[in-house]
Amino acid sequence: MPSATQTIDANNRELQVNLVHFGLVVFLLVSLLLTGWLLVRRASGALTTLSETEVLFGGILAVVVDGLWRESRRRAVRRTPSISERWLPTLILIAACLTLSSPSGPWVSLSCLVVLAIVGEWSWHRYVEPLARPPVSRDMAEGVSEAEGPHLYDSTGTELDELPAPEVEQQWVRSRNGEGQEQIWAVLRVRFAHEQRIEVAHVAFCPVLEGQFEIDAYMVDGPDATVRVTAAKPHGARIEVRLAQPAQEQAVVTLEVVVGGQT
């Protein structure tokens, strides 16, 4: 059965994320330094006006960077952005263009471009980086070997020979032994609509896991697919399921999630 450990490519994914983030940081620093220099010159009496050509050039550059940001973000997290994530950068650019005709327009436009860079950097740290990066270390998230295979349990911790009933969307068992070792077994059903190929499942741990822990996800039933644990945190995990082909009709992939922790 496909498991998360078979498909995680941590080195390549981490390199891609780091390169994109480095480019965004460079753009942000250059924007802040340029703006600071212009404001200092303006305060000293120079640069009483800023030509619209210069602002237009800055706007074009911002549009290019914005486009690269959208594409890199899409490739990093592999999901459709929300409405605010999709339109906020565009609204900032529109505000920059609309203020060009006012007396103080160039300075307002320049400020809008700086805000765009700051929003991009904040969005990266808040949304993209936690979702895009793989687990930070093998101690924090390391899969169970394929030889062990998946194991299904009922509410008492007894191993099952069959899957839960079709109407069961999730089934959880969380236990702790006498040595303080905590374990979680979960069965999740991930549903795909017609022509959908990628879906993401989120699991939450409450209370949060303490100490080091291991997490693995297995596909135990459904059409051919790959499974990836793309984020593993003490408070939850993000699991990506990618079908080999887009679903020709509504499809269901059943996953087993195994989590072990050491207090």
Q: What pLDDT does residue 258 have?
A: 87
Global pTM value: 0.43
Q: What pLDDT does residue 59 have?
A: 59
Q: What pLDDT does residue 72 have?
A: 59
pLDDT (tens place) for every residue of the chain, 263 residues total: 444 433 333 344 455 556 656 666 666 666 666 666 665 665 666 555 556 566 556 556 666 666 666 655 555 555 555 555 555 556 655 665 555 555 555 555 566 666 666 666 566 556 555 554 443 333 333 333 333 444 555 544 555 556 777 778 888 888 877 777 788 888 889 999 888 888 999 888 888 877 777 888 888 888 888 898 888 888 888 899 999 888 888 889 999 888 875 54
* Six token digits for residue 47: 């640069």
Cβ–Cβ contacts within 10 Å for residue 248, how many?
10
Domain boundaries, the chain: 4-132, 152-262
Length of the chain: 263
Choosing among 2.60.40, 1.10.287, 2.60.120, 1.10.3470, the CATH entry for 152-262 is 2.60.40
Q: What pLDDT does residue 142 have?
A: 38
- DSSP states of the chain: --BGGGT--HHHHHHHHHHHHHHHHHHHHHHHHHHHHHHHHHHTT--S---HHHHHHHHHHHHHHHHHHHHHHHHHH-SPPPHHHHHHHHHHHHHHHHGGGSTTHHHHHHHHHHHHHHHHHHHIIIIIHHHHS--S-TTTS-PPPTTT---EE-TTSPEESSPPPTT--EEEEEEE-TTSEEEEEEEEEEEE-TT--EEEEEEE-SSPP-S-EEEEEEEEESSSEEEEEEEEETTEEEEEEEESS--SS-EEEEEEEEEEEE-
